[in-house]
Structure 1
Amino acid sequence: MVYKLIRLNFGRSPTHFGETGIGLEQTSERIRSDALFSAWISAYARLFPGDIETLLDQCQTANPPFRLSSTFVYRRSLDKPDQFIDYLPKPIQHPAGYPSTSERELKITKTYKKIHYLPLKIWQRWYQGTGFSNEDYDALVAYGDDPDNKINELGKAGAFDYSSAFKRYKLPKVAIDRTTRATNFYHTGLNQFDWSPDNQPERKDGVTNLAGLYFLVDFRTADEALKNKLMAALHLLGEDGIGGERSSGAGRFELLPEEPLSSLWKTVLNPKLTSDTVHHSLISLYWENPVPDVMLGDATCYILIERGGWIASPFSGRQLRRKKVHMFAEGSVFTGKPDGKLADVTPAQFKKHHIYRSGIALSLAVQP
């Protein structure tokens, strides 16, 4: 296994990542692994049309050539701009040391539930290290009483500053009927990741990115040619844009220079856990039918989400809805290591080729 961490710099380009049922006016700040996989593979098919069937066949084997995480938010540290704070989804299960008495738990329940993503440093300590501490408890109580109180370890690590990495706004638009010329006014929700002006001549867009999205790729192939082709396709995807509202300039990105994994990331990816049993927390979506019994122990806790949408195929000639499928969401915890497969979501009336949605899983080991 060779892990690569890829950071996306959106610069001044906004993003629109839709979710099932939330409408055009709402948008998620990140894109999930199945949508990232589809966009990446579509770009690959445009660059290397003769190789796409071979790649998809490899992805349907027990050992696919690569596994993707979903994208997650990163932002630059305010104290050390050359360092990043990476956020990971908080697992559904409570960390070791979490209050076991209802009286103590009640004081932090509301604040704890509001935290959906944790800085990597805190995530590793809670779920792979010493666990939830009394200092963490006091920090949550203090933040619940006063949201400006961030002088403790959780506050300094950025546990309460996730939403400061981006801003949401609504863009007014007008749709004009092609036949009657009737107009329809509506809004589209967009995200803007934090950036600052920069007059350095080598920066063509004139800005320094302060936040963006990152994801992990677990390459399980020694085929360097395939890796190079995939990275070329990712650069093409950055020029085209990812997500919705691309015709309005949304979703365009550049890749930040590749960096070696930090010692903290290496620990997270290959932890030395003290317990005899190990659980696995998803950092991607996961689909498999049927789900192996070993995955569904008594300690399993999960969230299911519906994945739908429209197909984007040069052969369709019209908009078609792909079949809906339910997948396990990021943060779900299993007693076994999930593998996952590609889900065939081809519409019944579409015969040109198969349409797939990736349920290939990527997970991290955590303490039970």
Structure 2
Amino acid sequence: MSVWKLVKLNFGRSPAHFGEVGIGMEETSDRVRSDALFSAWVSIYARLFGKEAVEELLQQFPTKCKPEIVPSFRISSTFVYREVDGGDRTIYYLPRPLKFPTNYPDDDLTFFKTYKKLNCLPLEVWQRWYQGTGFDQKADTQELENHSKVGEANGNLNKFGTFDYKKAFKIDKVPKIAVDRVTRATNLYHTGFVQFAWEKDKAGLYFLLELSPESEKLADNLQAALELLGEEGIGGERSSGAGRFEAHWLDLPEIWQQIVNFKDGKYHTLFSLFWDSSITENFLKNASYEIQERGGWIAESQLRRKMVRMFSEGSVFMSPPQGMLADVTPHEFEKLKKHKIYRSGISLSLPIKAKE
């Protein structure tokens, strides 16, 4: 039986820069996706335990050449959490599946724009809509309509923080100066940083970790590597002190245990990015998904990784997706006979019910 952990990343006063393909330095995402978290984690694992240890670790994940391997662990992307009521209650935001919840009305013109903007849902709302009784056609419809018309709503959706997602953080642009090494000429540019709430209502990121029964002994090493990653920072602009965090490993609270052990779901929704070299037309039958391009620079060189397209969080499939590591080693890197560069497409998904 798998062992689940919930890991909270507390950034405190430290800002962070989470880049995405194509958005440039002036913008930043509000979270880290699963492939970027996996890459940063494995890189620091290699520094802490050595080349042989990380090679042994990577051999425990499926690839195009060895698709039959069961991964030693799976991680979700990171998502926002927010502590409210003086820290007595934590709001966990989950990615909204790309299928409508059960009982969702056919006539939604009066509130569809508001519904579509809800990319992340509070845990209690997500559970009710996608594992419980479903959408409340009277109460939920009325509350979404009120929010669409006047920007305010009073009801269970508002009570659980459905419309308060952006209160957990703010994004600012910070001016910076680049100095040419040869001419000493200066150039002004701006970098986007996300700052999570750290005063009254604290906020940060969290992710789910699923360890296979055979790999539970990995937990201590993974935790040590994550603590070192927190000291060095994750994301861009680490030389400026950005991206530093404290990791808190938690056993799954009861409500999370109900969610991961849900048995009545016909569909499976992604909590991570997902890539597989052997996807068939039959697998995509009745699926709802979005594609995310993933690329970027290799840390120890001036080369870019190969671009790979992955299914994004919230995508929904009839069968549980498995995923594998994608080889994104550039040709120039291969000529130098250096190590392989992988991007994690190992998926973590949860069962749900949805409108047919």
**TM-score, normalized by length of structure 2?**
0.94
Distance of 1:67 and 1:159 partners within structure 2: 27
Distance of 1:37 and 1:209 partners within structure 2: 28
The yes-or-no answer on 1:65 pairing with 2:72 is: yes
Aligned to 2:56: 54
| Deviating more after overlay: 79-88 vs 300-309 | 79-88
**Which of 247, 272, 279 matches 1:291?**
279
The yes-or-no answer on 1:218 pairing with 2:219 is: no
Does the 8 Å contact 1:150/1:156 carry over to 2?
no
Structure 1, residues 333-355: CA drift from partner, whole Å, max 9, x if none? 00110000000000101121100
Q: CA deviation at 1:295?
A: 2.1
Q: CA deviation at 1:82?
A: 2.6
Aligned to 2:302: 319
- After TM superposition, the runs of 4+ consecutive aligned structure 1 residues lying more than 3 A away are 221-225
Secondary structure of 1:47 counterpart:
helix
Q: CA deviation at 1:80?
A: 5.4
Structure 1, residues 242-296: CA drift from partner, whole Å, max 9, x if none? 000100110000013x3332221111111142x6xx1100000000012144421
Output aligned runs, 1:77-96, within 5 Å: 77=84, 79=85, 81-96=87-102
Output aligned runs, 1:257-272, within 5 Å: 258-272=249-263
Distance of 1:225 and 1:97 partners within structure 2: 43
The yes-or-no answer on 1:35 pairing with 2:26 is: no
**Which of 125, 138, 142 matches 2:128?**
125
Q: CA deviation at 1:119?
A: 0.2
Partner AA of 1:93 in structure 2: K
Unaligned runs of 5+ in 2: 63-67
Aligned to 1:358: 344
Structure 1, residues 132-166: CA drift from partner, whole Å, max 9, x if none? 1021111100111122x232100010000000000
Distance of 2:24 and 2:167 partners within structure 1: 23
Distance of 1:47 and 1:348 partners within structure 2: 28
Does the 8 Å contact 2:4/2:251 carry over to 1?
no
Distance of 1:22 and 1:126 partners within structure 2: 32
Does the 8 Å contact 1:72/1:214 carry over to 2?
yes
Distance of 2:205 and 2:130 partners within structure 1: 23
Partner AA of 2:331 in structure 1: A
Secondary structure of 1:112 counterpart:
helix
Distance of 1:293 and 1:232 partners within structure 2: 41
Secondary structure of 1:295 counterpart:
coil
Aligned to 1:200: none
Secondary structure of 1:67 counterpart:
strand
Distance of 2:341 and 2:235 partners within structure 1: 18
Distance of 2:218 and 2:87 partners within structure 1: 34
Aligned to 1:342: 325
Does the 8 Å contact 1:136/1:154 carry over to 2?
yes
Aligned to 2:223: 231
Distance of 2:161 and 2:343 partners within structure 1: 33
Partner AA of 1:64 in structure 2: P
**Which of 295, 311, 315 matches 1:308?**
295
Q: CA deviation at 1:224?
A: 4.5
- Cα–Cα, structure 1 residues 80 and 222, in superposed 2: closer, same or farther, change >3 Å? farther
Distance of 1:292 and 1:66 partners within structure 2: 24
Does the 8 Å contact 1:66/1:221 carry over to 2?
no
Aligned to 2:111: 108
Partner AA of 2:293 in structure 1: E
Secondary structure of 2:331 counterpart:
coil
The yes-or-no answer on 1:15 pairing with 2:16 is: yes
Secondary structure of 1:212 counterpart:
strand
Distance of 2:196 and 2:172 partners within structure 1: 11
Secondary structure of 1:110 counterpart:
helix
| Deviating more after overlay: 325-334 vs 59-68 | 59-68
Distance of 1:114 and 1:339 partners within structure 2: 28
Partner AA of 2:58 in structure 1: L
Distance of 1:245 and 1:107 partners within structure 2: 43
| Deviating more after overlay: 224-233 vs 304-313 | 224-233
CA-atom RMSD in angstroms: 1.3
Does the 8 Å contact 1:11/1:209 carry over to 2?
no
Unaligned runs of 5+ in 1: 197-207
Does the 8 Å contact 1:283/1:331 carry over to 2?
yes
Distance of 2:251 and 2:219 partners within structure 1: 17
Secondary structure of 1:35 counterpart:
helix
Partner AA of 1:96 in structure 2: T
Does the 8 Å contact 2:31/2:80 carry over to 1?
yes
Secondary structure of 1:189 counterpart:
strand
Distance of 1:209 and 1:225 partners within structure 2: 35
